[in-house]
Chain A
Amino acid sequence: MTGARRIMVAMSGGVDSSVAAALLRDAGHDVVGVTLKLWGGESDNGCCSISDVNDARRVADHLGIEHHTFNFEDDFEAHVIAPYVAAHEAGRTPNPCIECNRHIKFARLAERADALGFASIATGHHARVVVDPRNGVRRIARGVDVAKDQSYVLAMLDQRRLAGLELPIGELTKTRVREIAADIGLRTAQKPDSQDVCFITSVEKRSGFLSNRMAFTPGTVVDSEGTELGAVDSVELVTIGQRRGLHLAGGGAPRYVLDTDVAARTVTVGARRDLLCSTTQVDGVVWSAEPSWGPLDVQTRAHGSAESARLDDDGDGCATITWDAPHLRVAPGQTVAFYLDDLVLGSGTAA
């Protein structure tokens, strides 16, 4: 980091963004903390509960930086909640945190920061922004702490969004982040990591949340031959690859969900090997910089490893992943991130 800049730090009330703000302040930047009010309903973790906002504000007070709360509830409803519900209605498995990053944190907030005269925004994600010295191209790279790496949820960022982005935590292990927080006396030093979707409470759960917003379709559980094995209350709540919670009678080998079909009201199950596939179709492909068809690595889950594959352009943002080794089927709606070693090349959504 060279030269003092005006930086808006998105503070969730967690330890990572607390330390991000502290590091940027210590580097001499003019730092303002902002917490987003995204969700008007109940919340017990994430960025939206009142106690998290209070933590962020008190950390900012401790650091001696200004803190503001922005209300983006309308945008969150339109760009995260409504598509989340619609995806379930269509039998897909959405990534709401990624849509929040795409439409809220790195779009709405970034534009607000720009309008207010900030040079950059920063978050507490465990990932790095690296600049290619030859051409100035910026890319997301995996965080130093492999177990905490969050590059996957930032894989949709393009050059425009990467231009003003700072990720000061990506060079640190989580242990080191907590040490720094403890050293400077931050109240969030021992705060547990948030795990779940912020607008879904542990009491209500996903099914409770969705039941207030959509009608569930009961369905039958069948095997590949069409033999009925059981029933589920809602096809929409079943995810490809799922093994538990189907209440199937009988013993034998574990059975996995191979496919769901809301319209046909069926959930098809089978052996794990039946989940393996050689190709995966994706749409909504976006590149960090220039397109990079051909061999690359593909990660299909937030906490998983990348597998080698080949990506071929099908036009209109659609593409085909051909796996080097058979890969478990990816649930439609899931984000797939493309990597070259530690560098994010781009992303798409499993079709």
Chain B
Amino acid sequence: MRREVADAMAEAAAQVNGNPSSIHRSGRRARRILDDARDDVADVLGVDASMVVFTSGGTEADDLAVNGVASRRAGRVLCSAVEHHAVLEPTRHLGGETIGVDSTGLLSLEDTERRLAEALDEGIALVSVMTVNNENGVRQPVEDVVSLVRAMSPGTPVHTDAVQAAGWIDLRGLASVVDLMTISGHKLGGPVGVGALVVRDRGVLTPRLLGGGQESELRSGTQNVVGAVGLARALVLTAAERDLVAAEVATRRDRFVRGVTAGVPDVIEPARPDRGSAAPVVGGIAQLCFRGIESEAMLFLLDEAGVEASAGSACAAGALEPSHVLAAMGVPDEFARGALRVSVGRETTDAEVDFAVGVVVDVVQRLRGARAA
């Protein structure tokens, strides 16, 4: 977590000893702090504060969007095949369908149109397409999806999971056209355990958590005031420096990819097969795939050498699952099994990038050597 965020949360924690729903003095103070945080979040996203519903994180916000809309509106739920599990699993559970992506991970607008057309008779409850993919940083054409949905199925709300995007792009334009948007704090240097769903028209969804009617009756449960302060602070700080940081991070990210691809053969970056001409990749994520390497073995050795990376996502037991994103992109198995996801952050230095390149090259050579032996 960022120092400034931790400080803001500590300050809030010292002030808040009441329930923001209580009408006594300390309750009112907590309420004021919570509403200030809500105003900050709304400002950064360019929406009205009344649209911001605090949740326990991105997953709950996604669940509220998908299941909340599906329980209010009849029809099919559609989402992209590369969504975060928080959207994908509720969509599957509801018997929804996924929209395909091309080999660079970019949503296919043709497939979107086709799936919308096919579902028109049944009706379409919701369309959900993430803003930026969390495994490869690909910016999805959500605005185009909104146009398609408005033209073909007016009244169908569009949701976007912008958890991965919030750190890197100005979301005000997008927030003004979608119906529902998920954000979360921990990818921005904020705390885990807090997120928000932007709800343009509350009439499209039914709350999931019933009880005291907090968050304008859209999400019952005593609010996590300190968490909301952290989320708001992280968003504000990120927005202030975003353009500069995004450019620097992209440069270092490219430095990493160049270094690794120059250091070992048989490695691809599926989202950018020829370095930048294809899918628009934002932020500090680099998803590389090494032929003939096992991700788990690679991550083990990287961790040992002091490089923290990841691959797909981990299951409940903590084991690595094959990436559904790479599968949707049609990346051949021999490469997909050797997936590596590295995140470059705002504080990552060139020297750290070069160190990581050296370690990755070393580990890949070592594992390939072990196989050949």
Contacts and interface: CB of A to CB of B under 8 A. Distances in A.
Contacts of A112: 294, 296-297
Contact of B301 (A70, A71, A116): A116
Contacts of A57: 318
Contacts of B314: 69
Nearest to B301: A116
B296 A71 contact: yes
B370 A71 contact: no
Nearest to A51: B317
Nearest to A39: B317
Contacts of A71: 296, 315, 319-321
Q: Which of B301, B319, B366 has the most CB of A within 10 A?
A: B319
A310 interface: no
A53 interface: yes
A57 B370 CA distance: 28
Interface in A134-161: none
Contacts of B321: 71
B322 to A, nearest CB: 8
Contacts of B320: 69, 71
A332 to B, nearest CB: 34
Interface string A70-98: 11010000000000000000000000000
Given A115-B297, A116-B300, A116-B301, A69 B371 contact: no
Say which size band chain B's interface belongs to: 10 to 19
Contact of A69 (B301, B319, B370): B319
Contacts of B297: 112, 115-116
A71 B299 CA distance: 13
From B301, B317, B367, B371, residue with most partner A Cβ within 10 Å: B317
A214 interface: no
A263 to B, nearest CB: 37
A50 interface: yes
Given A68-B300, A71-B296, A115 B371 contact: yes
Contacts of B367: 115
Most buried by B among A37, A68, A115: A115
A208 B333 CA distance: 32
A114 interface: yes
Contact of B318 (A48, A69, A115, A117): A69
Contacts of A73: 319
Contacts of A70: 296, 319
A37 B315 contact: yes
B316 A115 contact: no
B318 A53 contact: yes
B319 A37 contact: yes
B302 to A, nearest CB: 11
A337 B175 CA distance: 68
A68 B301 CA distance: 12
Interface string B302-332: 0000000000001111111100000000000
14 contacts: A35-B317, A50-B316, A50-B317, A53-B317, A69-B314, A69-B317, A69-B320, A70-B296, A70-B319, A71-B321, A112-B297, A115-B366, A115-B371, A116-B301
Given A53-B317, A115-B370, 17 more contacts: A35-B317, A37-B315, A37-B318, A48-B317, A53-B319, A57-B318, A68-B296, A68-B300, A69-B314, A70-B296, A114-B370, A115-B366, A115-B367, A115-B371, A116-B297, A116-B301, A117-B301
Interface of A: 35, 37, 48, 50, 53, 57, 68-71, 73, 112, 114-117
